[in-house]
Amino acid sequence: MWRAIEERLGRALSILMLVMIVAIITEKRAYAYTDPGTGIMLVQIILSAMFGLLFRLRSLLYRNKRAPSRNVANDDVAGND
């Protein structure tokens, strides 16, 4: 299970890096103005999305760790009580 999560996360990071590299390479001059308030708002949106994703992944990982295992031997022992 952990290996599948690591593979998916690795693929997502690889795609993100590829998109960022393409965006940097194909950069054009923008004939527009972004005031400091808008720039900070964009930074806040990006950071909050990243931390929200990290929190969600952490909660999923801890939930899976605490889930009881479905072991046949454990079910037999619990059924004998």
Residue 2 covered by a domain: no
**What's the pTM value of the predicted model, to 2 decimals?**
0.41
Residue 78 covered by a domain: no
Quick: pLDDT tens for 6-57: 788 788 888 888 998 998 898 888 777 777 788 888 889 999 999 999 988 8
The more confident residue out of 54 and 74 is 54
Q: Which two tokens stand for residue 47?
A: 């950071």
The total domain count for the chain is 1
The more confident residue out of 60 and 80 is 60
Closest CA to 30 of 38, 46, 41: 38
**pLDDT (0 to 100) of residue 5:** 75
64 touches 1 (CB < 8 A): yes
Residue 76 covered by a domain: no
